[in-house]
Each structure stands twice: as structure tokens, then as C-alpha cells.
Amino acid sequence: LALPTLGEQLAPAPAGEDSAPASRQSESTQAGQWMFRASDLGSKFSTLSDEIAESTQPQGSNSGSESLFDVPLDDSERQTETFDKRIAGRELYGVPVQVESRQQIESRQVPVPADVQELDAGTEPFSTFSLHVSDVAFELARTALAQNEWPKPETVRIEEFVNAFDYGDPLPSGDEKVSCTTEQSIHPALQQRNMLRVAIRTAAAGRAANTPLNLCLLLDNSGSMERPDRQQTVRRAFNLLAAQLKPNDQVTLISFARQPRLLADNFNGEQAAELVTLVDGLSSEGGTNVEAALSLAFEKAKEHQVAGAQNRIVLLTDGAVNLGDANPENLSQMVTRIREAGIAFDAAGISAAGLNDQVLEALTRRGDGRYYLLDSAEATNDRFANQVAGALRPSAKNVKVQIEFNPQRVGNYRLLGFEQHRLEKEDFHNDQVDAAEMAATEAGVALYQFEAKPDGAGDVGSVSVRFQDLDTGDMVERRWPIPYEPSAPRPDQASASLRLAMSASLLAAKLRSDPLGEQVPYQTLNELVTSLPTETRNVPRVQQLEQMLQQASQIGTP
């Protein structure tokens, strides 16, 4: 059956005319397909629709029953030409609509590969992790693909692809500090699996105006930073950072190459212009001794540490460590001590080309801080201003998420990504175990695949979040149910936010040669991305994702 297109002038019946609601019919002999009797649509379609209804209506069905699918369509749905992708289970002006059954969808899917590591909700119902938000892996992969190169698998972190996008999740209501949004759909590629998106978003309140900042900046001016584009990026980043300073903030500035050099010791925010002048006058020289730089930064940060203030070290470097102790594990232990002293640690990688991602990712993970990538001065304009504003205005600290799956409703499940940020079940309530922080209005997103039990009982599970409220210093815990959706939408009918998250996660899985990614054809990913609403596809970051997908398919798996 070819459904009519927009050019065939579909129109609803005028008000007041007889247009009784279509009825939901009994299940046809074609398993899971539903047909809807035609309304008064005009002579052009009535005969065809009546013939279809008569030929497919099972004997004895009650054609006079009220439709269960009477949700009105919005304008965007009326304007799509692919009607069956938007209105499955609904009446469109009485036109019969065929809805695919789960079995029909799974006929085009593959079983879960044996090497896809899932957990059994019956024995391990808890999934706990630190809600680390970054987009560095996405940016590194984008740069590699643009150069017709396959990204290094170890730099592809699925959660950093998922969190590269703004999904527009709702802010907390009232006096709540965090909100939780969950969405589900059928898996795009795997049989007997659903997808679950969990989004946690913080409130608008962040660092209060009277909360001072004690900031120690570490600027790499080694030989590897002498390229004009890198110098320009560093200076632009520092200008943006300086613009965030308040009069009562304190800033210590340290540059480093072979050895660190103290340029400004405990300047106040009103001296931001002097700090910018100091940075503009730096020249690149010699090797990179991150160990010595971290040591001096820690010393100065402790010396000027203020109780109740935001005490923070920010490192700007390309990570090309070649002097002193260059072992990532040893450097990470230094950052751990910094964190244990109550001082946050962030790192901004300068330029994707030649970036030592291994070192910077390890440092920020140990410091439970933020990891940025500044690939150009232009990109710095767009992203770093918002990112650094968030870092200097945190809303929640030690943010931990724990999903408890209901074994009566869920069989196996898998958290996509967050391998380096997973915690033990007991760590959720152990406040001695540090976790990530989130800025005001920031959202962190996690994606799961899970096996739903249609004949089971109860919800899918629950989402719990535990964090330190920086306004009061108190630990706060919130919990929300994850309802079971017996008729989870198929992938191309899922919400735009879930389709986007699935597209990003599955592309990442392919790029890192994950067994899951190997089961997802590029065609499936392309269909997910191109099914997004026009306003979503016009977002620059989404356009980048679509371009990355095309480039990856052309390069092919190495």
C-alpha cells in the first residue's frame, strides 16, 4: 500500500461533518499489524480504504469500538511525507496504517553477540558511576576523520560522544537541585534489546556572588606550544577565563617549560588586565616538565587556599610531557593528592593534533575535574567560554548515579561507556569516594541497552543521584522510577533526543571497534540521523556528527 504524499492534498474533514473516529481492530492474521477503518476522506481514497479494511478486518471484530489511538497530530507530523514513521498506532484522517510488530522489526536485527559484555540484573542489579561530562573524545575523533584517518580506539570514549550534545532536558522545578529524564525505545540493531537514556540536569544556581575563587593557572609555554595557532588559542582561552573573574577572586599564574616560573602570585580579579598582558608576553622555549609544574601549583594553591571558596587548578597544555616524571600513573597520583586536599583540578588540551590524551584524561579523572579540548581560537570562542564559566560556577560536587534494575522486569543490561568512571555499589553512599562535579544548568547523560521481560512485573528500575549541594555543603540524594514501556517505540519513532544519543553512541562503538559497533550497519546509523527533525539536524554539532558518519563509512574499519 502506497500512502498518499503531501502533493495529493490530504485534508481533514471540515468541522461539523460526519467523521466518526476510526476503530481499533482485532489483531490481523499478519502478526502484530493493525488496520484502521477509513473515515470520510473523499472519493479519491474512500474506495481503496474500504477495500483494505474489509479485506483485513478479522471476522467478528467490533468495528464500532472507540479508537485507543486518538492522539492528535501536531503540525510537524502532518508535514512529513513518511507517514508510517511518525504516526504508527494513530489514525491519520482515517487512512489505514500498518504498524510493524516487534517480531517484524527484529527480523532485520541481529542477536546480541557473545562478546558484548552485559550484566545479569538477577545477580548484579546495581550500576553505579561518577557522572563525568566531557566532549573531548568526540572532538578528537572529528579531527582524525577530517584528516581521513581512523581515530585511535583508546581515545574513543562512548560517554563523551553522548555528552557532546545539548538535548534540551528540562531544568529542575521549584527548589529541587537536580532533575531526571528517562526515555526508552527498541534497540536500533539488536534483537530483544531496548535502549534507555538517563539524563541528570542541575538547577540554575551555581557559585554565589559572595563565594570567592582561588584559582591557580598553569600555562604551558614549552617548544611544542610555539606554533602561532596554539599560542593564539591559549591567549584567547585566557582572555575568556579572565573575563569570568570577580573582584574578590584570587589568581596565581604559573608558566612552565623545562621548569615552572611564577608570573603572578595571588592577584585579585580586578588585576585581570595585568594578567592578560603577562600571558601575551610569554615566548615558547624548551621541553615540558609537567611534574615540576604540578608540584609548584599544588604548593601555591595550598598556600592561598580559602575555606568555603572555590579552590581550583587549571592546566592548559598539549600534554607533550618529555621532562621530569612523565609516567601518567605517577602524575595522576599527584593530582589525587591535590584533590584530597580539597582543590579541584581541570585540564584544557591545546590542539587535537599531537595531543597527549592519555595523560590529560588520566589527570582529570583522578582529579574528578573537567577535561576540555581547545582545538582552535574559533572553537574556544564557542565552547570554552561556557565550559569555563561552568567550571567556575559549579552547582553540585561528587555527583554519583546509581541505576537499580528490577530483575523481574529486566534480564541482561549494559551501560555504554563510563568504563573509567564506574564505581562499586557501596561507593554510592561512601562520601570518601570522590566523583565528578557539575556546573549550573549542566546535563549529564548515560545510555543503557537492556533486555525487557514483557511477562515480568513492575518498573524497569530506578535512578538514584547523590551529590554535595555546594550552597549548603550537605549531601543530597534523590530517586526516580524508570517505568516499564510495554510498547516502546521503534528507533525511528523515538524522541529526537534519544535518536541523537543512540546515533552518537553507536558511531563511537564502531570507531572503537566495540563488538556492538560491528553489528550496526552504517545504513542503520544514517537512517537514525537523517530521521531527526530539521531543526535538530541544523544544529552545527549534529551536522558534525552526520559528517563524521559519512567520513567513517568512506574510510572503513582499519
Look-up: residue for cell 513492575?
Answer: 458
For residue 112, being part of any structural domain is answered with no
Query: Quick one: pLDDT band at residue 439, thresholds 50, 70, 90?
Result: confident
Render pLDDT for 33-83 as a digit per residue (tens, 0 to 9). Answer: 332 223 333 333 333 334 334 443 433 333 333 322 233 334 333 333 333
pLDDT of residue 201: 94
Residue-wise pLDDT tens digits, 231-290: 777 777 777 777 777 888 888 989 888 888 898 888 887 787 787 788 777 776 777 788
* 558 has pLDDT over 60: no
C-alpha neighbours within 13 Å on the C-beta side of residue 311? 20
Q: What is the DSSP letter of 124?
A: -
Cα 439 versus chain centre, distance: 15
**Final residue before a domain boundary, out of 41, 66, 99:** 99
Show the cell assigned to 18.
Answer: 460526519
- Spatial neighbors of 378 by CB under 8 A, at least 6 apart, are none
Per-residue pLDDT reduced to its tens digit, 220-244: 887 667 677 777 777 777 777 777 7
Q: Of the ranges 100-104, 406-410, 498-502, which one carries the lowest mean pLDDT score? A: 100-104
Domain membership flag for residue 110: no
Report d(CA 525, CA 503) in Å as an integer. 6
Quick one: average pLDDT of 426-444? 90
In a domain, 163, yes or no: yes
- Shared domain for 140 and 198, answered yes or no, is yes
The reply to whether 185 and 221 lie within a common domain is: no
| 3-state secondary structure labels for all residues of 376-420 | CHHHHHHHHHHHHHHHCCEEEEEEEEEEEECCCCEEEEEEECCHH
Q: How confident is the model over 458-484, as a mean pLDDT?
A: 93
Which of 358, 241, 236 has its CA nearest to residue 290? Answer: 358
Q: Containing domain of residue 259, as a range?
A: 213-392
Please tell me whether residues 367 and 233 are part of one structural domain. yes
Rounded to the nearest integer, the mean pLDDT of the chain is 77
Q: What is the value of pTM for the model shown?
A: 0.77
State whether 507 and 476 are in the same domain.
yes
Q: Are residues 286 and 194 in the same domain?
A: no
Residues 265 and 370 in one domain: yes
Take residue 34 and report the three cell numbers written for it. Answer: 493493525
- Whether residue 80 is found in the same domain as residue 185: no
Q: What is the mean pLDDT of residues 420-433?
A: 94
pLDDT for the residue 115: 77
Query: The domain that contains 372 carries what CATH number?
Result: 3.40.50.410
483: CATH: 2.60.40.1230
Indicate whether 348 and 454 sit together in one domain: no
Cα separation, 197 vs 182, whole angstroms = 5
What pLDDT does residue 380 have? 53
Domain co-membership, 301 together with 350: yes
**Does the pLDDT value for residue 538 go beyond 90?**
yes
- Res 451: pLDDT: 95
User: Do 259 and 386 fall into the same domain?
Assistant: yes
Residues 417 and 512 in one domain: yes
Number of domains in the chain: 3
Residue type, 388: V
Provide DSSP, 492-551.
Answer: GGS-HHHHHHHHHHHHHHHHTT-HHHHTS-HHHHHHHHHTS-HHHHTSHHHHHHHHHHHH
Q: According to the model, what pLDDT value does residue 230 have?
A: 73
Last residue of a domain, one of 349, 372, 392: 392
Cα separation, 366 vs 332, in Å, equals: 6
Q: Is 181 inside a domain boundary?
A: yes
Asked if residue 114 is part of any domain, the answer here is no
* pLDDT score, position 264: 84
Q: Is residue 452 over pLDDT 50?
A: yes
Q: Above 70 in pLDDT, residue 437?
A: yes
554: left (phi over 0), alpha (psi -120 to 50) or beta: alpha
466, three cell numbers: 547523590
Q: Is 377 found in the same domain as 250?
A: yes
